[in-house]
Amino acid sequence: MKTILKIAANEFRLLFFSPVAWLMLIIFVLQTAISYTDLLSNYVRYMDLGYDYPGLSYDIFGGRRGLLIIVQTYLYLYIPLLTMNLMSREYSSGTINLLYSSPVKNRQIILGKYLSMIYIGIIFVAVLLVYVISGGFFISHFDMRATLIGLLGIFFLICTYSAIGLFMSSITKYPIVAALSSFVTFACLGYIDNIGQGIPFIRNLTYWLSIKSRANTFVSGLICSEDVIYFIALSGMFVLLSMMRLRNSRQSIGRGKRFFDYALCVIVLGSVAYVSAKPAFMAFYDGTATKSQTLTPNSQKIMAKLKGRVTMTTYNNVLASDSWFAFPRNQVSDMRRFRMYTRFKPNLKMKYIQYYHKNDEEFMSRKYKRLTTVQRAEKVCETMRVNFNRVLPPEKMASFSILPDEKYHFVRVIKAANGKNARLRLFDDMMKHPSEAEISAAFKRLVMSVPVVGFVAGHGERSYRNEGDKGYSIFAEDKSFRYSLINQGFDFCQVDLKAGVPDKVDILVLADPKASLLPEEMEHLQSYLSKGGNLFILTEPEDSKYIGSVLDIFGVSIEPGEIETNRTDFDKDFIYSHATKTGCDTSYQLDYMVKKGKYVVTPSVAAINYSGVKDFQTIPMLECGRDTLCWLNNNGKKTAGRFVTCLALRRKTASGVQKIMVLGDADCLTNGEISIQRKNVKASNYSLITAGFSFLSDNRAPVDVRRPEMKDKVINLSFRTIPYVKWGFLGLLPFLLLCTGVVIVVRRKRS
């Protein structure tokens, strides 16, 4: 060990007794300082403009444009210039013969030189540590632990680059060739994940070998055993190859023995890759303050209840617009979207079925207007380099009954060992992919009974099957809408009160009936309520007379007339309903809506009177007239004030807690209202959907995936102090390094 340390110290001195290492270190400091101070300046500017940025620790150091991400983009330029002389210099100067004749072992030479590069890596990381420490002073509640994990990833990356550079230096006596060979190897390791993506074993191996974005897991604050093993295994392989190369130069070894040694090295690395990439062998440590890289507790509870093997089968129609995500070349990255879940369910098996079938999307018919369905599929497969022979035709997909129901769009079917299954879809929004809330809601169907929503029909009510502007299909069963009931963990059915309310119904929806309930229907409704059933009543001002008998059960009434305001940009009955304090205390969805400065748009809304309620706890959820002048117009008689537009009732029963909601507007949840976007109107009507049905289902759905609030959202700097920070990092720090380097180099030459 002493010999290794001596060689490392000597190599380290040689590097820093020359101006090259100092020059590169100063350039590195300047590059990182420019990036860091620019990030600080930008966020100080944004905050002065009134923007809020929780999670500054990650944004400045680990985000898409964070410092540690930027460092990775040019770090590979420095290492080859530092490693190119490690062994090449020995070959070109002839000093390698002195090493051969000395009692120094091959491994001591290689490990000593590699250790010297680790020393340099520590110096580079120490430079970055200066910025991290300053971030601890500048940013309130700085997430130091997660950022230090990011530095660990950068250190591993430097060590791996150094091992590759050392090997390239050991195979040539020309330093420039060694540097260029290192660059080429880095490029190959960055591109290798595109090779063999159609073959599962080759795909997994090449994806594992790819160095691209490997350190990003660390930068996000997560330590994964797979990534740690990757860096250690790859570094170890190239260090071992360097030892073999030195041994082969020093001793006469046959070609067969050489080939066997190299093959054994590659086989061992492949075996390590195969084992470490298996979810069952992975270990994780989430160092973020909010545990953002780990499933929330509620999701973990769901996964803990899953017993036996679970299979997720993705049905990918190559003619659909979203087929890109499940093509063979993208399947490994697609699987990694569920990495948080395979962490808690290692035996989750993912399968892909490629097929083609005409669906309701028009882009393919416009692009390939004159081609048949088969020809279109062949064209897509040719363009995307997919083997068309492995794509199933429509006749072979006839047995999959779920596909017509999904209109032959992208869908995943999750099947548990107990025989239950659930569906997971892509959504028509900017995020596209399901978030933890939707994925956990799908898994929850496998282990728990989900709330069933029954929509009353037979009196002209709003229907969950109606796709027109006045229908409720979007918020109920629209598969492409993220916040629809079906995607948030609810089932639903149609209810005929003449036949009674089915036992499976947990929430009954009475949405704006156009006729009063018949006596026998009222009797069935009373029976449902007497058992503790939950009820959601929606009405319009002009139709409130039809639900009067239902509201009388609870002591609630609708005030005669319609709420109006002095708004000039919209109709006078276009009302902003804001969440109340009691509403926010009851529902975190409404509280989040208020924090975002949003509200519920309630066109033509009625005021709710709950002075006669006796047996229930009253919870006003929405009200109007708080921020703008509102009045109740009853045939020309106007009464100004604040009016409750959504009311919740709650009481304890023998079977649990019964909950009732009354909404004075049935239009705010319609397809037309949810779909429309108005200029300067911060409507968030879907928040009322999730809040209302979460309340009525006793929080069984949607799945609560909230995390602790990020506290690192203030930078203790101003525009007056930013120039001093820039001069410190861009001027003082490089100047001190320059002076230190000049003194050391000059003293070395004099000695």
What is the count of structural domains for the chain? 3
SS3 of 495, please? Answer: strand
74-78 LR contacts (CB < 8 Å, sep 24+): 74/31, 75/124, 75/154, 75/157, 75/158, 75/161, 76/161, 76/183, 76/186, 78/24, 78/28, 78/124
User: Per-residue pLDDT averaged across 484-489, rounded?
Assistant: 94
- Over the stretch 76-129, which tens digit does the pLDDT of each residue have? 888 888 888 888 887 777 777 776 667 778 788 889 989 999 999 999 999 999
Based on its alpha-carbon atoms, the radius of gyration of the chain, rounded to whole angstroms, reads 33
Mean of the per-residue pLDDT values for the chain?
Answer: 89
Alpha helices in 251-355 (DSSP H): 255-276, 297-304, 331-335, 339-344
Task: Show Cβ contacts of residue 200 under 8 Å, excluding neighbours closer than 6 positions.
Answer: none
How many Å apart are CA 455 and CA 505, to the nearest integer? 10
Q: Which two tokens stand for residue 243?
A: 């030892």
- Over the stretch 684-711, which tens digit does the pLDDT of each residue have? 999 999 999 999 999 999 999 999 988 9
Per residue, what are the HEC states of 348-416? EEEEEEEECCCCCCCHHHHHCCCCCHHHHHHHHHHHCCCCHHHCECHHHHCCCCHHHHCCCCCEEEEEC
Q: Are residues 520 and 377 in the same domain?
A: no
- pLDDT for position 749: 67
Judge contact between 159 and 215, C-beta under 8 A: no
Q: Are residues 246 and 389 in the same domain?
A: no
- pLDDT for position 751: 58
Q: Are residues 216 and 357 in the same domain?
A: no
Has residue 594 been placed in a domain? Answer: no
Strand partners, 630: 565
Q: Which two tokens stand for residue 480?
A: 């492409």
- pLDDT for position 370: 81
Has residue 308 been placed in a domain? Answer: yes
- Comparing 159-163, 193-197, 648-652, which segment has the lowest mean pLDDT? 193-197
Q: Are residues 420 and 456 in the same domain?
A: no
pLDDT at position 257 over 90: no
Closest to 317 measured CA to CA, from 386, 367, 414, 420: 386
How many Å apart are CA 272 and CA 295, to the nearest integer? 27
Q: 190 pLDDT band (50/70/90 cuts)?
A: confident
pLDDT higher at 268 or 161: 161
Is the N-terminal amide bond of 19 cis, ω within 30° of 0? no
> Which helix or strand (DSSP H or E) is residue 579 part of?
strand 574-579
Q: Which two tokens stand for residue 432?
A: 């596209």
- pLDDT for position 469: 92
Buried b (16+ CB within 10 A) or exposed e, 397-408: beebeebeebeb
Has residue 329 been placed in a domain? Answer: yes
- Four-residue CA torsion sign, 481, 483, 488, 490: negative
pLDDT higher at 368 or 623: 623
Q: Are residues 152 and 41 in the same domain?
A: yes
Has residue 598 been placed in a domain? Answer: no
Q: Are residues 149 and 251 in the same domain?
A: yes
How many Å apart are CA 540 and CA 319, to the nearest integer? 43
Distances in Å between the alpha carbon of 325 and those of 408, 426, 481?
15, 10, 19
Task: Show Cβ contacts of residue 399 under 8 Å, excluding neighbours closer than 6 positions.
Answer: none
- pLDDT for position 677: 87
- Over the stretch 548-565, which tens digit does the pLDDT of each residue have? 999 999 999 999 999 999
Has residue 511 been placed in a domain? Answer: yes
DSSP string over 135-188 = HHHHBTT--HHHHHHHHHHHHHHHHHHHHHHHHHHHT-S-HHHHHHHHHHHHHH
Has residue 227 been placed in a domain? Answer: yes
Task: Show Cβ contacts of residue 386 under 8 Å, excluding neighbours closer than 6 positions.
Answer: 198, 318, 327, 328, 354, 380
- pLDDT for position 199: 65
- Comparing 218-222, 278-282, 385-389, 558-562, which segment has the lowest mean pLDDT? 278-282
Q: Are residues 91 and 217 in the same domain?
A: yes
How many Å apart are CA 96 and CA 205, to the nearest integer? 36
Q: How many angstroms from the chain centroid is the CA of residue 625? A: 38
pLDDT at position 350 over 90: yes
User: Per-residue pLDDT averaged across 44-72, rounded?
Assistant: 87
Residue 308: phi, psi to the nearest 5?
A: 80, -175
- pLDDT for position 362: 67
How many Å apart are CA 704 and CA 700, to the nearest integer? 9
- Over the stretch 283-307, which tens digit does the pLDDT of each residue have? 999 999 999 999 999 999 999 999 9
pLDDT at position 485 over 90: yes
- Over the stretch 352-401, which tens digit does the pLDDT of each residue have? 999 999 887 766 767 777 888 898 899 888 888 888 999 999 999 888 88
Q: Are residues 90 and 215 in the same domain?
A: yes
Distances in Å between the alpha carbon of 203 and those of 230, 522, 577?
16, 63, 53
Domain containing 119: what range? 2-278+722-750
pLDDT higher at 174 or 434: 434
Q: Are residues 385 and 312 in the same domain?
A: yes
Has residue 207 been placed in a domain? Answer: yes
Q: 281 pLDDT band (50/70/90 cuts)?
A: confident
Q: Are residues 242 and 162 in the same domain?
A: yes
CATH number at residue 536: 3.40.50
Helix, strand and coil percent figures for the chain, each rounded to 5:
50, 15, 35
pLDDT at position 333 over 70: yes
Q: Are residues 100 and 154 in the same domain?
A: yes
**Residue indicated by tokens 């005929």:** 496
Task: Show Cβ contacts of residue 365 under 8 Å, excluding neighbours closer than 6 positions.
Answer: none
**Residue indicated by tokens 């013969």:** 97
Highest mean pLDDT among 60-64, 257-261, 268-272: 60-64
- Identify residue 696 by its one-letter amino acid code: L
pLDDT higher at 273 or 229: 229
User: Per-residue pLDDT averaged across 17-43, rounded?
Assistant: 89
Has residue 650 been placed in a domain? Answer: yes
SS3 of 678, please? Answer: coil
Q: Are residues 400 and 516 in the same domain?
A: no
Judge contact between 72 and 161, C-beta under 8 A: no
- pLDDT for position 221: 93
